[in-house]
Amino acid sequence: MASFSIHGVGVSSGIAIGRAHLVSNALLEVVHYQLTPNLIDEEIERFDQAIQSVKHDLEVIRVQLPKNAPAELDAFIGTHLAMLNDKSLSEAPKELIRNEQCNAEWAVKQQMDNIVEQFDAIEDEYLRERKHDVVQVVERIIKVLLGHPSQTPNQSKEIQQQENATILVAHDISPADAIQFKQHQYAAFITDVGGITSHTAILARSLNIPSIVALQKARDLISDGEMIIVDGSLGVVIVNPSKEILAEYELKQDQWQLEQQKLQLIKSTKAVTIDGIAIELFANIEVPEDVISVKAAGATGIGLYRTEFLFMNRREMPDEEEQYLAYKHVAEALNGLPVTIRTLDLGADKQMNPDTVSNCANPALGLRAVRFCLSEPHIFHTQFRALLRASHYGNIKILIPMLSTLSELRQSKLLLERAKLSLRKENLPFDEQITVGGMIEVPAAAINAEAFAKELDFLSIGTNDLIQYTLAIDRTDDAVAHLYNPLHPSVLKLIDMTIRAANKFNKSVSVCGEMAGDIKLTRLLIGMGMRQLSMHPSNILSVKQQILHSQMSTLNKQAKKILNVKDLEKIEPLVSQFNAATV
């Protein structure tokens, strides 16, 4: 077939070469692989066991329902049990396993797609929407299958090797789905839609795999199993590359991997400029397991722990004990290094339940983050208690997101004090001196930064939302992605105002948005006076290298010059010169 290329927005650099795997949003974990004939019966038995396991789980849930539980819950479980007994789910996938000699996960996924297609053709809206029940039941089956693969070690290794050469191709991937990538080792992923600072893109960078969004029609143009090249640095996907192009990119891939290996040499080196100014490099994490990559990158702490990912991919909120154990695990793993934990930031493109559909016309401006928590004080109270209890085991700091008024801050601090009081009454230990910071990510907070700095222990600039709100650009919308620019003079002015406010009251300030991990902006940020940068672990060493080759006295002069420029088109070449110069 002829070779062709598709251009999009690169959100995570690097080069990946592999086979395309078209995925549905609901079942990202499923990989297709062939079985030898002698394993077919064993695979069918594994599928039957998974069906029985899901039935058992649902029956246990039904038995344990409280007496006062709504009748709809029992009916909901009954519907799912009925679907498991239907031959379209309990028998049809076994025929696919036999006929196609494929793994059970793939077979049940294919059957789900067939059933959903039939539901889509139904005119009655209520019946049509029952397809979501089918998807939920199949997800339960696949989770059991993935948790109990019933494969020999060699076969499991073979599956892992297939993942390493697999490039996921999707129309869109929600943050809830993307978080599942952390359990796998896919080569790359590409999507039709998305923006450079959407939460899905942020997660892609945390995985340190090449990723491209906003490709428009990639899922329609690319066939399952086709050889493709993903150049995350240039934002280009090459489909069916020629031998010459493939050889060229294999060389580029080797060079890129060599550069990554060289960066490991500075892992234990402190981030200090040529003239002795120390910069603290913190890590951003989504789940407790990320502490492994935090340590591997040599971070000096965690500057942003996004706790909302503990709440996602589930129907019910995690209770206090589950939250406490997650926060405690991270605090203990960092062994005294600072761990800044952001309170729940649900809303916009991050919903707790994947099936939840927001009725808000503009969710980015709706009931999210601190607004949501203040409207549900019991949720805030539970999280505060969990955070406080965990603070006894490490250096935990609390960060409140999306503050826009001092009233929101004071209400939050009042709820925190109530949580402290409740723990004292129960004689449960916690850090009485725990510090509280605020996210400066709404222009109103940046303009009023001095007032916030006066009442907070520290400030953290969330540049992703700050840019979005300042420039009135939806950061998840690829149609306006070209307008999203961190170098806009208004954005730089708001960052500068926040840094000055923090310095005035002798409070620490950091950048925890994607600007912190962009090496093109490192010199500008520290030249503006930033001394703390928090980013995904995969970016720490490249940012550190930039710092080690910089001289602060020169950076300060250049940053002041850039801050005085009012025209965006003039700022960009100045920053390019800034980075090209040997300082």
- Give the type of residue at 102: C
- Cα distance between residue 576 and residue 521, in whole Å: 9
Beta bridge partners of 436: 398
Angle between helices 40-63 and 131-147 (to 10 degrees): 120
What lies within 8 Å, CB to CB, of 351 at 6+ separation is 174, 176, 312, 358
- Cα distance between residue 228 and residue 221, in whole Å: 12
Question: C-alpha 419: how far from its chain's center?
Answer: 29
Residue in the block written with tokens 């400066």:
440
What lies within 8 Å, CB to CB, of 59 at 6+ separation is 81
- Cα distance between residue 308 and residue 402, in whole Å: 14
Q: 21, 32, 512, 536: which is the annotated catalytic residue?
A: 512
- Cα distance between residue 516 and residue 505, in whole Å: 23
Residue in the block written with tokens 């995570």:
12
CB 113 within 8 A of CB 88: no
Number of H-type helices and E-type strands within the chain: 25, 16
512 is catalytic: yes
Q: 199, 381, 482, 488: which is the annotated catalytic residue?
A: 199
What lies within 8 Å, CB to CB, of 519 at 6+ separation is 539, 542, 543, 545, 546, 579
**Token couple for 346:** 């649900």
148 is catalytic: no
Q: Which of 186, 77, 90 is nearest to 141 (CA)?
A: 90
User: 243-261: b or e for each residue (b if 16 or more CB lie within 10 Å)?
Assistant: eeebeebeebbeebeeeee
Q: State the sign of the Cα–Cα–Cα–Cα dihedral 379, 382, 387, 388.
A: positive
Active site residues: 199, 512
